[in-house]
Amino acid sequence: MRIEVDGRPATAEQVASTDGHFTAMQVRGGGVQGLGHHLTRLDVAHREIFGLPLDGDRVRRLLRHALAGQDDASVRVVLRDPEHVAVQVGAPRLAPTRPQRLRSVPYLRPFAHLKHLGGFAQAQWARQVGREGYDDALLVGPDGAVAESTIANVGVLGPDGGVLWPDAPHLRGTGLALVEETTPTRTGPVHLGDLRRASGAFLVNSIGIVGVASVDGTALPDATGRVEEIRRRVAALPWEAP
């Protein structure tokens, strides 16, 4: 892994803070799916957190510099203060292929609409449920309203072929935006009981799309075919070079 800040190798002091916001993306063949969504996310969050816009062309230039011609990678663009842009380049990541087993936990991310740094609580929930044999935690509000997983949006499959996104506090991920470009979707309340009675569910983030096998040990309907259809439609979207 390598990290640059403003196009130069990062110092320890420049990457020590857990304050700020970021976006995470996968690079394949030198391109990024939904790059515009990532740049918009960074600009909107930058304005809310620091009160300043973020120049998307500058971010593109720093992405190109940090990639240095590397075709496949996992990349994070991190803003810890109003001025300096960090780009972290690592090995590419692949989505899990096996439908995921989730356990609900009583937690909602603070400022959930922002992809902010310092996510200890959600990471700890993921570790805890992992020790119990689950793949990830499902974040749920006090009233049982489903929000998101620790690192992905939850899509609930309806009988009409559309997707329902939970409206509890959550991050509107770039993967979610790509699904919306290819599939009819809407947003509304989803509670644990609704999820267990649904036609199926899936998780989506910038890494990819994977089905949900069960919640709290209760099996969900096998939606492999429908999830694969959504995955194929998203896979057909273009990859844009920075």
Cα separation of 167 and 185, whole Å?
12
- pTM beyond 0.75, yes or no: yes
* Residue span of the structural domain in which 15 resides: 2-90
Asked if 162 and 185 count as a contact pair (C-beta separation under 8 A), the reply is yes
Q: Is residue 129 part of a domain?
A: yes
Q: Is residue 240 one of the residues assigned to a domain? A: no
Per-residue pLDDT of the chain (242 residues; tens, 9 = 90+): 999 999 999 999 999 999 999 999 999 999 999 999 999 999 999 999 999 999 999 999 999 999 999 999 999 999 999 999 999 999 999 999 999 999 999 999 999 999 999 899 999 999 999 999 999 999 999 999 999 999 999 999 998 889 999 999 999 999 999 999 999 999 999 999 998 889 999 999 999 999 999 999 999 999 999 999 999 999 999 999 99
Written as six digits, the tokens of 210 are 């994977």
**Strand 185-188 to 163-166 pairing:** parallel
**Claim to verify: residue 221 and residue 145 sit in the same structural domain:** yes
16 and 107 belong to one structural domain: no
Q: How many domains does the chain have?
A: 2
Query: By the 8 A CB rule, do 161 and 184 touch?
Result: yes
Residue 186's alpha-carbon distances to 111, 164, 166, 218, 232, in angstroms, are 22, 5, 9, 25, 20
Q: Domain boundary residue among 90, 116, 144?
A: 90
Residue 75 domain flag = yes
Question: Maximum CA pair distance of the chain?
Answer: 52
Instruction: Please state, in angstroms and rounded to a whole number, the distance separating the CA atoms of residues 159 and 199.
Output: 6
Residues 172 and 226 in one domain: yes
The answer to whether residue 132 sits within a structural domain is: yes
Q: Give domain status of residue 192, yes or no.
A: yes
